[in-house]
Structure 1
């Protein structure tokens, strides 16, 4: 007689701590953003100011994708792509996409703000100079971040990824339960 063996659940108490740190970092960064400006009171001769247009929700699509590639698995080269959508849903990029779960709205908002505030040129200013881990059965990590202007791509075998940078701390905190990132 066989018994059903449930997959092990990886508890991530550190994820909640990192999530809190992410939100605190974003909140601290937002304190330096300029606030709304006040306009002089409308005079009776001028028409009242029209309200500012409301900010619409982000268009549907990916906010972050994290691809791990390289290393040898039973069926060949290892690899996986996990995508966090602007709606908070997490899925794989495999066909058909497999829904993995969802992230909390506050984590999604914090990560979105962090992505928008990140200086990607500064991150890419540090080229990777070592041997790419795929050369010795390790994995490369490729991040794609959708900003309001473009899709920013960071490849760990091209750019030195500092896992202590707030952006990568945030990604790990939000997506850590859905994907295993290689250790440094």
Structure 2
């Protein structure tokens, strides 16, 4: 089979990316458009291989190409080809995206766990309050009936001395004495120092 020869037609030469990136570094928009066209599919391929998500891969590809525009002056041909530089940027950006997404997922998971778990102080306070209530109940059981009723009405229902006296049908002085005696007994039972 003979190869067809076209006279006067020169095959289109691939763009010299190193030269184009050098022109991009000088702000040449046409050179950037040619770099973009030459590498966009490869950049997208690298991003997709790392991210496995089309939408995120497209975002990363756009970010990388914007980075190429901004950082073209930093490209050094003596360190590698322009395409390798651009694909390295793409790989790094895609890996950074994976790490960022993973870190966000870990933070969200930890935050969800913290929302469900009460803080240690809340647990300790709850236990302490429960123990104190039980201790108070035990001490209330040591009071006489009138002391218990007077303390309960005055301190748990918020009645005044006069209202307690009316509720128990006792003279006000008797109620005051029973309350005082009951509170002294409670203080001693609870171990509170005066």
TM class, shorter-chain normalised?
Answer: under 0.3
Higher relative contact order (CA closer than 8 Å, sequence separation 6+):
1
What TM-score, normalized to structure 2?
Answer: 0.22
Structure that is richer in strand per residue: 1
Structure that is richer in helix per residue: 2
